[in-house]
Amino acid sequence: MPHLSWFSSRRLPLICFLGLVLISTLSFHTPASSYLSFNSFHYYLSSAASSCPSVYNTGRPPIDRSAFKCHTVPSKIPLFELEVCYAEGQCNQFTLRIKRTSAEACREQEATPDPSEDPALTKWMREQRGPDAFYVKTDGAERYASVYPTYEGRCTYSFDIRLKNPGDVYVSIWWEHERYTGFSETNTSWPEMLFKSLSDPIALHTCPSYCTTQLSAPLVPTQRIDHFPPLPPSRSHVLPNCSGPDPIPGSYIPANPLDVLYPPEVLPQPNEQPVMGRYGFVPEACTWRHAGLRFSDSKDRCTKKDRSMRMFITGDSHGRSLYDAIRHRLEGNTDTLLDSEKIGSKSSTIDQLNINFLWDPKGLEFLDFDPEPCEGYVRDADIIVVSIVAHYRGHETTAQYLSQFRKILSGYAACPYHPSSYDQNDPHPQRKLILLYSPAIVQRWDDYVIDFRDHGTNIRMRYWRDESQKVAKEFGWMFVDQYDLTLPHSLEPRGTDLAHYLANDAIDPIVDEVLGKTGLCE
């Protein structure tokens, strides 16, 4: 068949084989299920060679710069020059390169005293991070953020960004720190948050016209929308349930237009500024289907059990906020919880589920509990959630934090499990341990952080996150990565309480993941 292309002639036997397998498989299905399976199969074949990104793709592989052309972007800060590099047709893949304009000023910045007493950390900062720190955020097709460029030396920083949703993108960049204060453990003064806009917003239109922006599904699952022409089946229908001890990554894509126009609740707008309701989170390569989702009509499956269950949440104010958010949801509410009352201990019972919170921001109450740390709420807790990172960032070094962190996680993991009741269908229940890692740092410069000399920065919290996850895995803890889930939304809390993420597009995926990892709602 000489008229066939090389591609089609090479693939023809494979396509024939797959067709026979498909026909054989569909012969055992009902017409309705066969129709869905055929459409899903056709969708995958038609999209396999597509250059369009998808929110369901796994990971964000390195981008290919070989065809990139760079374009100068006017800088609003004379100390820096800025360029954006991309290739036509490479949908939402681009590089932002930032460089100091003065070689002398760069040498002065790099000559700053060591940022850490740990030689390995200082080496890492000098060789991989550089003296300046930036915050890059995208809007439009995807809300994404990064503080981790590649340091090319000589005060040159490259952010390689691969977004997972087609469509127009708007990029904003802020200069946050200089002289290594983005990760300073030797400077006792407050690491000044500069937060100076590096440029006007950058609009990028790099996607081919056939790449369609994906929108979030309607918040209320019963909301029906008739599409003409019909849309192909969503890949989410054939994805597995999200599961496992590791963080669930994903993408924040635009909220459904009907939810923006007619939100199912009155959205908070402190200081007349929107703080939520604009983006929805889509996990990659899996989907949440448990009964504890926000608009689920079967939340009682999480709380009506064959035996009593106990969840113990302990730690800082982020743990307290999680307690309130989980209680609010499992009580059947679908509106957004706006406040978390500052009380040292809290307790609630919903059907057969008892939830307790105990204030212990550094885990010291647990380590010093007299006479035995494993007594009290810990003894018969079926689920333990610990949130203890944020209060270490103020003055402790990385080594001091990791030492305490290891003691606390290993201590809880070693505690004997004494279930308060038994289920005959589960004769050997296992306690679940969940580490709630600290959310991203809110960019602030108020008197509190200045007087407290808060050394919490997002570069430092990112490094601690990576090291904390290794320790958590070593001692059998599941890990909820609030840092990654909140970094794209870290500017919005400046309009709320400057610290927490309750009235925020990040709160739903956090609660979804914690409930998913507890196993309560399966």
How many Å apart are CA 117 and CA 185, to the nearest integer? 7
DSSP state string for 400-448: HHHHHHHHHHHHHHHS----SS-BTTBSS---EEEEEPPPPPP---SHH
DSSP state string for 150-206: EEEETTEEEEEEE-SS-S-EEEEEEEEE-TTGGG-SS--S------EE-SS-EEE--
The strand pairing partners of 86, in sequence order, are 69
pTM for this model (two decimals)? 0.90
- Residue 357 forms part of a structural domain: yes
- Residue 194 forms part of a structural domain: yes
Query: Token pair for residue 317?
Result: 């104010």
How many Å apart are CA 379 and CA 364, to the nearest integer? 17
Distance of CA 391 to the CA centre of its chain: 21
Using CA atoms, how far residue 455 sits from 130, 192, 411, 442, in Å, is 17, 9, 27, 12
* Pair 358, 506 in one domain: yes
Whichever domain contains 111, its CATH number is 2.60.40.10
* Pair 310, 174 in one domain: no
* Pair 195, 309 in one domain: no
* Pair 305, 452 in one domain: yes
DSSP state string for 17-33: HHHHHHHHHHTTS-HHH
- Residue 141 forms part of a structural domain: yes
Q: What is the CA radius of gyration of the chain?
A: 25
* Pair 484, 368 in one domain: yes
What is the helix (H) or strand (E) element at residue 346, kind and residue range? strand 345-350
Spatial neighbors of 82 by CB under 8 A, at least 6 apart, are: 72, 73, 74, 75, 96, 97, 98, 99, 173, 198, 199
**Where does a domain end: 204, 238, 260?**
204
How many Å apart are CA 67 and CA 418, to the nearest integer? 61
Model pLDDT, residue 232: 86
Whichever domain contains 448, its CATH number is 3.40.50.1110
Model pLDDT, residue 50: 54
Model pLDDT, residue 498: 96
Regarding beta strands 156-162 and 169-177, do their DSSP bridges make them parallel or antiparallel, or are they unpaired?
unpaired
Model pLDDT, residue 421: 81
Model pLDDT, residue 424: 72
* Pair 329, 470 in one domain: yes
- Residue 252 forms part of a structural domain: no
* Pair 186, 321 in one domain: no
**Where does a domain end: 177, 204, 231?**
204
Query: Token pair for residue 464?
Result: 């601690």
* Pair 391, 513 in one domain: yes
The pLDDT tens digits for 251-272 are 999 999 999 999 999 999 998 8
- Residue 401 forms part of a structural domain: yes
How many Å apart are CA 310 and CA 167, to the nearest integer? 45
The residues of the chain scoring below 70 in pLDDT are 1-50
Using CA atoms, how far residue 452 sits from 75, 137, 188, 455, in Å, is 33, 27, 11, 9
Neighbours of 401 (CB within 10 A): 20
Distance of CA 273 to the CA centre of its chain: 23
Q: In what order do the strands lie in the sheet with 150-153?
A: 69-73, 80-86, 93-100, 156-162, 150-153
- Residue 4 forms part of a structural domain: no
**Where does a domain end: 189, 204, 219?**
204
* Pair 389, 503 in one domain: yes
- Residue 59 forms part of a structural domain: no
Q: Which domain holds residue 128?
A: 69-204
Model pLDDT, residue 390: 96
- Residue 25 forms part of a structural domain: no
- Number of domains forming the structure of the chain: 2
